[in-house]
Structure 1
């Protein structure tokens, strides 16, 4: 049998699992103020259980409403009134063939001050739609400003320390009495879970949250029995474990444990704790009766070393899990940036770990396990690590909505799958122009709905802009998006005409029921820049595609968006000396901070120069002229070549020419409005559902 170990049973304590695949806990934002599981949230998790996953571990679940709420829409087990709703949730997971564990959590210093004391005030209004709507109309406008100005309550932590990255909140230290009460909150919550029929509890001692803050000498500077030595720093966690074991005999307890805070990776060796001490923690947890160690790493300060951007190699941190497994006898589960069943099986056979924890891959494809078990792993839509799930979670939280996925627009619609995939097409023809990610996604949804789909693509291959996005250093995973969509639409029976330029006349001859224009975008080369057409000027498209090759040159890159930074790294690797010119006052304005951190860390290895607040106005043979956006003063930068990376503009001429020729015609993706993969697939999905 293929994937023999992956699909083999295993036990955690007295909990029997049918295979070794675990859904890792991830905040999804489908809850309500009170923390009871909503229908949408249950549908989301149940779909993953139906997809064959043995153990579902929920998102962060608070144990204290006042200072322990990390989001407006998360689960809670802070009150006895949560038991029956949680029982319904557990029953549904069991009916779908899975087991359920709930992860108990407190954010500590990594919380947002906006959440302190807010949840108890909001709970009475959660079922009053007009009030709830008003709340989420006000919060996006007021919330960010309050956080920026630090006009929010202080968050609670073991000690007052430097502010955590991303959260950036002022803090206050827990009193001894508050710590003892919080230990009881965790133990009480675990007992409620057992009463609700939940199969296991996981304690979140990772990613920089409260329990890890107690474990780390960097964030725990207490002088009482909760600080100082490792024994003291582990006291909070071990007291909770002991309390659960005494109150809930035989109940499986997992601990998600950061075994290395990874400060050495950001140039801060000696800060926090390293793998050696992390392994010792795992050994002491085993001795305390913990039933499994869920190995992870890092914190908000070292964000990219537990929630990796695209450029990180798969399996890069498996050495951490392997070291823990060498030192404990209880089961070890770990995520380890696993993206394929082949990789999962290999790591099990190597003895790296006992169970495979998949987080983002479960967002991208709920049916990962079933596709393996049925002998069709090629049907898996692989996560490309684009981080849009975490970015959208943070953005949507202020709007009362949930996480989104670049590759899975069905996310959040799990309860509507029968309606979405209803065969309403009756074989009617829909012609899609363009085989980029928007065109392919639209085709997939339409094919599932029973339409006959033909894609007309002017190039020899599918992919569109992604054929450039995957050319940057370490960006090969981006190609998976095209590969997996092509596999899907091919199996569903799409007809693709490659090397074919669509015209209005051609479309009319095909006599389609509907037309979808997904012709993408083209690189911007502003004519306002003097010398833009000089021989020493090209676009990032030409660099990444290999059409232009530059080596050992002085190069100015105009634009510091992600494409500009990736192009800069690409150029640096070829021995070029790069100066990045950006009109805004910061590098990569508007880009998600993890991508920026990743790119800047890589570029720091080279002598890359950054010039911000200046616009490129003139290109000469051996220099460029830039203008300060405030003072309008001009200066010159010597260079041999200039690479323009100022984004793309919509290529929508065909749509403009054809829009009055067809009753049903739509434009999607970059052809409509330039943006990210997620915006293209979302629009493609919504457009496909409009065609009936």
Structure 2
């Protein structure tokens, strides 16, 4: 029995295996509205046999987009467009679907990656960013506006509004984005948060707003809807957020009914020094797993089936997430199941593709021939 292909519970949400498709920005929305690209992209991933599909970072307000092409869930039009995509997915796949809700903060108003990813000037269609403090992400960039009490209330309400829309859409889980240098991470990190009020200074104060957002979202949707969070466990910069501080954050999330923590790292500063290599973030997931009772998801250059299996068997994490790897190999879970002697769900239209030496890869399938 493969550990990777054993079931897992994230709160009330039951997964058939422990492979999670991590959220991956597509920068292909139209004014926040999902397009045909999302139907094609997400439709393919929904046929992959993974245990859970997480929709890309989805902005809770218009100025919270990373780029003009970001997906959004702040309006009725956004909700209707995403409903069209989800209706098609559900015709052909029973895979649970989550959505990552986020706000880019000071990293908003950027070009899409294939156009350089640089900050868009106001005169060229950019917009004013907001953040905990008026500190630019990179040298030479225009600084964001520091959020005042009214702005904090607006952002929190935007997360709640988007969460309610996600629930109406029948989405199975919400992942709050508090990683990769975006707004909730900006509050957590002392590199970007230099406030002198109750939301800045000590780690207790820096955690306050992200925890308020989590509490508000958790209260806004039914208990059966899983609510988790993605964090950057360390900034990889001297003087930045540390793994020890992330342990404190995780324990407070646990007390509040968080259903899972998705452990990434970095993204807050161009000065970061990340030792990239196979499974380079797994040790962070392992440290957090040893410190709390929440399901922990590991991510970061987990590319091989046996590597993923060993992470689960060794108790380093409860699930693994893949992103670029599944874009490169959309049937990664099929190939992992074949290598580990497991079975995986596949659409019946593809059953005939099962290799002759993997007769039970797709379970007890019966295919006639003419």
TM-score by length of 2: 0.84
- SS in structure 1 of the partner of residue 181 of structure 2: coil
- For 1:227-306, what aligned pairs fall within 5 Å after superposition? 227-250=200-223, 251-263=225-237, 269=238, 271-302=239-270
- For 1:465-484, what aligned pairs fall within 5 Å after superposition? none
Q: Note if contact 1:114-1:147 (Cα within 8 Å) is conserved in structure 2.
A: no
- SS in structure 1 of the partner of residue 57 of structure 2: strand
* Match status 1:73 vs 2:69: yes
- For 1:598-677, what aligned pairs fall within 5 Å after superposition? none
**C-alpha spacing 1:182/1:100, structure 2 compared with 1 (3 Å):** same
Q: Note if contact 2:185-2:268 (Cα within 8 Å) is conserved in structure 1.
A: no
Corresponding residue for residue 81 of structure 2: 85
Tell me the CA shift for residue 204 of structure 1: 0.5
Corresponding residue for residue 51 of structure 2: 54
User: Which sits farther off after the overlay, 334-343 or 227-236?
Assistant: 227-236
Corresponding residue for residue 27 of structure 1: 25
> What whole-Å deviation, never above 9, does each CA across 1:294-315 have from its counterpart, x for those lacking one?
0111114258767x8xxx3202
**C-alpha spacing 1:315/1:145, structure 2 compared with 1 (3 Å):** closer
Tell me the CA shift for residue 49 of structure 1: 1.7
Q: Note if contact 1:108-1:155 (Cα within 8 Å) is conserved in structure 2.
A: yes
- For 1:5-154, what aligned pairs fall within 5 Å after superposition? 5-33=3-31, 35-65=32-62, 67-94=63-90, 95-112=92-109, 147=121, 153-154=127-128
**C-alpha spacing 1:113/1:195, structure 2 compared with 1 (3 Å):** same
The whole-number CA distance in structure 2 between the counterparts of 1:333 and 1:326 is: 13
2:288 equivalent among 321, 324, 334: 324
* Match status 1:223 vs 2:196: yes
Alpha-carbon RMSD across the aligned residues, in angstroms, is 2.9
- SS in structure 1 of the partner of residue 64 of structure 2: coil
Q: Note if contact 2:59-2:70 (Cα within 8 Å) is conserved in structure 1.
A: yes
The whole-number CA distance in structure 1 between the counterparts of 2:25 and 2:12 is: 27
Tell me the CA shift for residue 375 of structure 1: 4.3
Q: Note if contact 1:166-1:300 (Cα within 8 Å) is conserved in structure 2.
A: no
The whole-number CA distance in structure 1 between the counterparts of 2:314 and 2:202 is: 35
* Match status 1:192 vs 2:165: yes
> What whole-Å deviation, never above 9, does each CA across 1:341-391 have from its counterpart, x for those lacking one?
1100001111110011001101111100012224499xxxxxxxxxxxxxx
The whole-number CA distance in structure 2 between the counterparts of 1:160 and 1:19 is: 43
Corresponding residue for residue 619 of structure 1: none
Corresponding residue for residue 353 of structure 1: 317
> What whole-Å deviation, never above 9, does each CA across 1:309-358 have from its counterpart, x for those lacking one?
xxx32022321100100111111002132110110000111111001100
Tell me the CA shift for residue 280 of structure 1: 1.0
- For 1:249-648, what aligned pairs fall within 5 Å after superposition? 249-250=222-223, 251-263=225-237, 269=238, 271-302=239-270, 312-375=276-339
The whole-number CA distance in structure 1 between the counterparts of 2:259 and 2:230 is: 11
Tell me the CA shift for residue 68 of structure 1: 1.1
The whole-number CA distance in structure 2 between the counterparts of 1:83 and 1:150 is: 28
- SS in structure 2 of the partner of residue 223 of structure 1: coil
The whole-number CA distance in structure 1 between the counterparts of 2:94 and 2:329 is: 17
Greater RCO, 1 or 2 (C-alpha within 8 Å, sep 6+): 2
The whole-number CA distance in structure 1 between the counterparts of 2:218 and 2:119 is: 44
The whole-number CA distance in structure 1 between the counterparts of 2:124 and 2:80 is: 38
- SS in structure 1 of the partner of residue 261 of structure 2: strand
Q: Note if contact 1:112-1:167 (Cα within 8 Å) is conserved in structure 2.
A: no
Tell me the CA shift for residue 93 of structure 1: 3.5
Tell me the CA shift for residue 90 of structure 1: 3.1
Q: Note if contact 1:113-1:169 (Cα within 8 Å) is conserved in structure 2.
A: no
Tell me the CA shift for residue 103 of structure 1: 0.7
Q: Note if contact 1:110-1:169 (Cα within 8 Å) is conserved in structure 2.
A: no
Tell me the CA shift for residue 145 of structure 1: 9.8
Q: Which runs of 5+ in 1 are unaligned?
A: 116-139, 264-268, 378-417, 419-447, 449-692
Q: Note if contact 2:27-2:71 (Cα within 8 Å) is conserved in structure 1.
A: no
Tell me the CA shift for residue 89 of structure 1: 2.9
The whole-number CA distance in structure 1 between the counterparts of 2:99 and 2:318 is: 20
- SS in structure 2 of the partner of residue 50 of structure 1: coil
TM-score by length of 1: 0.46
Tell me the CA shift for residue 289 of structure 1: 1.2
Q: Note if contact 2:229-2:262 (Cα within 8 Å) is conserved in structure 1.
A: yes
**C-alpha spacing 1:114/1:30, structure 2 compared with 1 (3 Å):** closer
**C-alpha spacing 1:164/1:376, structure 2 compared with 1 (3 Å):** same
**Which has the larger Rg?**
1
Q: Note if contact 2:111-2:118 (Cα within 8 Å) is conserved in structure 1.
A: no
The whole-number CA distance in structure 2 between the counterparts of 1:338 and 1:165 is: 29
Q: Note if contact 1:294-1:334 (Cα within 8 Å) is conserved in structure 2.
A: yes
Figure out how many residues of one structure are paired with residues of the other and give that number: 340
The whole-number CA distance in structure 1 between the counterparts of 2:140 and 2:38 is: 25
The whole-number CA distance in structure 1 between the counterparts of 2:334 and 2:26 is: 23
